[in-house]
Amino acid sequence: MVQSGMCGGYSSGAERLSVAQDVVGSIPTSRPNSSSCPSPTRTFREHGLNLQVSLLADCSVPRRLQFEAILTKMSENVGLDEPEAVARNDAKFSASSPVLHAPEQWFSPFNPIPALRSGHLQTLAGNYWPRPAFDLYHESVSVVVDTVDGSRVLCHCHWQPEAVRAERLTILLVHGLEGSSDSGYIRGITMRAWAAGCNVIRMNMRNCGGTETWSPTLYHSGLSADVRVVLGHFVNQHRLRRVAMAGYSMGGNLVLKLAGELSEEAPQWLCAAVGVSPAADLAPSADALHEGFNRVYEWHFLRNLMKRFGRKVALFPEIYSLQGLGPVRTIREFDDSITARYSGFTGADDYYARSSSAQLVGKIAIPTLVIHAEDDPFIRLLPETRAEMKRNPALTLVETRHGGHCAFLATRAGNSARHWAEATLLKFLLTAGGNVGS
């Protein structure tokens, strides 16, 4: 349900940050009254660091570049890796999975950058933290996910040499809301997994990655069947023996939902799953986006979703219409008026209830890791969902006090990875799926 447009999937930085509407006709959205909204400019003071970040909906490219320059300087500042942070483990996990018999094989402490011990700071910094250039060759593959309406999705595949391809662990990656296969965390995991000898498939959801003409439908958090079709397609095509899947936020919900749907009937080749900041409880997470400062994120997602809907109206006027739509001021209103209306749900509540993986986490039977930060600004795990995860012997729930949404930026002391969740995810999958060379 959330995260990702902030992390990539657009052709330029200006497009990624701009939330100006670009649709045919006039889409009736409006910003809530300024008197009841948080200031779009916040000054964060964490551990002596003063960061003033402009989050105006129409923030300029120079402002973005200024923010990125600050983060670049931070990334080069060894003073951020304070010694006392190294000795403290910010993460706790609970599980009885066989994978945890030797947790030292995959689990390492999460020590957040001291200056970023704030959910908002982690979330924002995670989107723009400098990364190595992404220069891996990929094969673009179109996969039909619905034979009835002809919907297709775009996958970018990174294959190991054909002689060893089938026996190598293959990892399918699924992005979050308004993201794509080019989202920063997707590329980051891809580079790590490729270097470890894995095959990697970067899957775009319907309409994402520049494929709005490929499907007459919208995309939403209930389309776990698309992930299943993509997995089966590549397993059959390349005779893959070991496959794992991982998703962030909305993609994490899809991965967990599919794992729960498959339950004990999961194919033998599907060896593990990971959800990072998964939107497992859609309703409370959607509502959390409308609380306080989170409305800045909501404006960002909502404006991009409305732009996309406007393009769908122009492409498929026989299906979609702006008539009678009324104001759309929140994510819940978008899901109630648009997602539910055009995706076979009776309303937002029905959509959230039927699409949340929370209802299925107790049925997951393959080794599964869930990473969630307690200071995630808008993803909410209900107590009953957390309890269900902890009761499931196949599922490992790792919760950190800090980390924000899909960020988890850590100190580099002890040669640990800056993007802790990405590194932990891969080590878990390699452990659960067997060493790549085995």
> What's the pLDDT tens digit per position in 196-248?
999 999 999 999 999 999 999 999 999 999 999 999 999 999 999 999 999 99
Give me the pLDDT at residue 206, please. 98
122, pLDDT greater than 90: yes
- Radius of gyration, alpha carbons of the chain: 21
φ/ψ of 105, rounded to 5, equals: -75, -20
Give dist(CA 434, CA 138) in Å, integer: 24
Q: How many C-beta neighbours within 10 Å does residue 354 have?
A: 15
Q: How is residue 336 annotated by DSSP?
A: I
**Residue 18, pLDDT score:** 29
Q: Is the model's pLDDT at 308 over the cut of 60?
A: yes
Q: What is the pTM of this model?
A: 0.82
263, 256 Cβ separation under 8 angstroms: no
Q: What is the pLDDT of residue 92?
A: 60
SS3 146: strand
pLDDT confidence of residue 91? 58
| Predicted local confidence at residue 109, as pLDDT | 87
Q: If residue 333 lies in a helix (H) or strand (E), which one and from where to where?
A: helix 331-334
Average pLDDT for residues 174-198, to the nearest whole number? Answer: 97
Closest by Cα among 6, 29, 28 to 17: 6
Task: State pLDDT tens for residues 127-144.
Answer: 989 898 999 999 999 999
Mean pLDDT over the full length of the chain: 83
| Distance separating alpha carbons of residues 343 and 397, to the nearest angstrom | 31
Please tell me the distance from the alpha carbon of residue 75 to that of residue 418, in angstroms, as a whole number: 9
Residue 52 has pLDDT above 60, yes or no: no
* Tally of structural domains, the chain: 1
Measured in whole angstroms, the distance separating CA 71 from the mean position of its chain's CA atoms is 21
3-class state of residue 358 by DSSP: helix
Helices (H), 344-401: 348-355, 383-391
CA dist 176 and 253 (Å) reads: 9
- The two beta strands, 395-400 and 368-373, are parallel
Lowest-pLDDT range, 12-21, 131-140, 157-166?
12-21
Domain range for 232 is 1-438
What is the tens place of the pLDDT at every residue in 358-398? Answer: 999 999 999 999 999 999 999 999 999 999 999 999 999 99
Spatial separation of the C-alpha atoms in residues 410 and 427, rounded to whole Å: 16
For residue 435, the domain's CATH number is 3.40.50.1820
Q: Is the pLDDT of residue 164 over 50?
A: yes
